[in-house]
Amino acid sequence: GAVVSQHPSWVICKSGTSVKIECRSLDFQATTMFWYRQFPKQSLMLMATSNEGSKATYEQGVEKDKFLINHASLTLSTLTVTSAHPEDSSFYICSAQADSNAMNTEAFFGQGTRLTVV
């Protein structure tokens, strides 16, 4: 299957600082990327949908000013957690899809980023 690379795999940062997470589609062009948050032993919570060249669509309850998403190219989307606090500590996962209009195209996932805010 297609490869999605997410970096870094883990990061520890101080409270009040910002952290950027990158998501790259390595062997295909991703018109749509998704950002999820996952708490321990729980399902994935969709945070936002990112389409190349346009503003991200955030899910209800997700602060767009806190979780900045940029999708400047067809192979790269970034999530920046601004002014991070301990409650932002979580596992963040991105996924990418080649064709945003294809209902039957499976999404491919990055390996996830474990963020710990101290």
Altogether, the residues listed in the chain come to a count of: 118
Distance of CA 86 to the CA centre of its chain: 18
9: left (phi over 0), alpha (psi -120 to 50) or beta: alpha
Using the minimum distance from each CB to another protein, give the nearer residue, 5 or 82: 5
Between strands 113-117 and 10-13, the pairing is parallel
98 binding another protein? (CB under 8 A)? no
Q: Do 5 and 24 contact (CB within 8 A), yes or no?
A: yes
Tell me phi and psi for residue 114, to 5 degrees.
-90, 110
60 binding another protein? (CB under 8 A)? no
As measured in angstroms, the least distance from the Cβ of 16 to another protein is: 26
Provide the mask over 9-48, with x wherever binding to another protein is found by CB under 8 A and - wherever it is not. Answer: x----------------------x-x------xxxx-x--
Return residues touching another protein (CB under 8 A). Answer: 1, 4, 6, 9, 32, 34, 41-44, 46, 49, 91, 93, 95, 97, 100-104, 106-112, 114
